[in-house]
């Protein structure tokens, strides 16, 4: 194999390049990215960056050792198509990159409510540019902030607003934010952090629309109530960036479908990070929109691309963390309806605990608030039991 093209210049793309070089690939290695910035770390965007404790330079992922990677960077240009016959990547500037193998690492784009594009004061948070625009709006006077969606990113944005002394409201259509991910017990504790820190939480009422002409003035709920707001942030999930692959012949199903070794049916094409949908032998599939997946999957993808077949599987339990209101929430595994929560250290009421989820005597997941040592021990047990994907 003489040339590899990595489409996506964020964490997963950079880690793929590092993995390929680490595993002995010496050919041409091209990285394509639609942003002009070299790879940067995204998790701090909703935390330290919004608070003014970090700037763009602090987020840079490239270090001195990466100078030896000998990468051909194509930044500020969007991928527009993939030809599997060669294969080759067509770019929006009408140039083309030929390669023996392609890695899709294009991530995901935040969902937006209809009619909100171009309305001043309305934001999503995914990119550095998004974070810069939101930080500027939060610093303009003392705006009232409405966060639509009680996801982890929504909670972290609300936490930043609280730390900045701003009045904030979180609007969540479900009765308890993140219950499907955390289970009811831990989800209720996480939801309680908002009220503990002066943030208003509205649950169980969907959003009806956004008010405002040139600039947002509020969020209208489905029951007719109005939440006044000078700044609105939408944290309502993300969709994988696969539009550029339409018609390529790759199987697309809310992501790029690949096997447990991150290889697609095309063989010479792999997918990693938020865009990858791994399908197990039993037909089940999942995408993992977490930082750890973007770090760990590239090693597996690189090994299998270089071998020309799936010789390694991605066997890691999903793991993520969220820093909110001075508390670190950690989670590993998967919760299914009916799983029982057992606290092994601390107390839910004290907002400081380590717990496991169990089904039929088997541990399926673990969660903790401000109990990092206990969680690390519990997580190791989850990791050993993890099945592919």
pLDDT digit string, tens, across residues 49-74: 999 999 999 999 999 999 999 999 99
- Rounded Cα distance, 74 and 31, in Å: 6
Assess whether pLDDT exceeds 90 at residue 295: yes
Is position 246 within any domain? yes
Is position 271 within any domain? yes
Confidence at residue 35, expressed as pLDDT on a 0 to 100 scale: 97
- With tokens 């697309």, the residue in question is 252
Maximum Cα–Cα distance across the chain: 61
Is position 120 within any domain? yes
Is position 184 within any domain? yes
Total domains in the chain come to 3
The rounded percent of the chain whose pLDDT value lies above 70 is: 98
Confidence at residue 200, expressed as pLDDT on a 0 to 100 scale: 98
Assess whether pLDDT exceeds 90 at residue 162: yes
303 with 212, same domain: the answer is no
Q: Could you tell me the residue range of the domain that residue 268 belongs to? A: 3-109+239-307
- Rounded Cα distance, 55 and 206, in Å: 35
Dihedral of alpha carbons 374, 288, 40, 329, sign = negative
Mean pLDDT to the nearest integer, 132-140 = 97
Confidence at residue 317, expressed as pLDDT on a 0 to 100 scale: 87
Is position 314 within any domain? no
Is position 320 within any domain? no
376: CATH? 3.30.390.30
- With tokens 């730390």, the residue in question is 163
Name the band, by pLDDT with cuts 50, 70 and 90, for residue 178.
very high
Domain boundary among 236, 265, 299: 236
**Residue 285 in 3-state DSSP?**
strand
Is position 370 within any domain? yes
81 with 120, same domain: the answer is no
Higher pLDDT, 313 or 388: 313
């Amino acid at each position: 194999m003489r040339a590899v093209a990595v489409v996506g210049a964020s964490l997963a793309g950079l880690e793929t390049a590092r993995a390929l070089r680490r595993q002995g690939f010496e050919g041409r290695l091209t990285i394509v990215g639609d942003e002009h910035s070299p790879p940067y770390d995204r998790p701090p965007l909703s935390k330290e960056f919004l608070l003014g404790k970090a700037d763009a330079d602090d987020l840079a992922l490239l270090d001195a050792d990466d100078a030896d990677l000998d990468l051909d960077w194509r930044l500020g240009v969007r991928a527009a198509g993939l030809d599997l016959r060669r294969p080759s990547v067509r770019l929006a500037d009408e140039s083309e990159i030929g390669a023996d193998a392609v890695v899709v690492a294009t991530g995901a784009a935040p969902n937006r409510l209809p009619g909100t594009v171009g309305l001043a004061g309305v934001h999503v948070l995914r990119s550095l540019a998004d974070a810069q625009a939101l930080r500027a709006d939060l610093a303009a006077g003392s705006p009232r902030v409405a966060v639509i969606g009680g996801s982890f990113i929504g909670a972290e944005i609300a936490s930043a607003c609280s730390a900045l002394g701003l009045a904030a409201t979180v609007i969540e259509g479900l009765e308890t934010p993140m219950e499907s991910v955390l289970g009811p017990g831990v989800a209720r504790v996480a939801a309680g952090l908002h009220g503990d820190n002066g943030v208003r939480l509205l649950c169980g009422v969907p959003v009806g629309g956004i008010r405002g002409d040139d600039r947002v003035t509020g969020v209208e709920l489905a029951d007719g109530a109005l939440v006044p707001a000078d700044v609105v942030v939408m944290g309502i999930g993300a969709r994988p960036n696969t539009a550029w692959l339409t018609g390529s012949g790759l199987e697309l199903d809310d992501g790029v479908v690949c096997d447990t070794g991150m290889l697609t049916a095309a063989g010479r094409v792999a997918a990693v990070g938020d865009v990858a949908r791994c399908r197990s032998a039993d037909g089940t599939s999942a995408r993992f929109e977490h930082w750890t997946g973007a770090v760990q999957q590239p090693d597996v993808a690189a090994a299998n691309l270089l071998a020309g077949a799936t010789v390694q599987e991605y066997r890691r339990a999903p793991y993520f963390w969220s820093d909110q209101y001075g508390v670190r929430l950690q989670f590993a595994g998967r919760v299914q309806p009916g799983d029982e929560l057992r606290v092994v250290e601390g107390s839910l009421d004290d907002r400081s605990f380590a717990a496991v989820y169990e089904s039929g005597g088997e541990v399926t997941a673990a969660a903790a608030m401000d109990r990092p040592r206990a969680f690390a021990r519990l997580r190791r047990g989850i990791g050993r039991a993890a099945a592919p994907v």
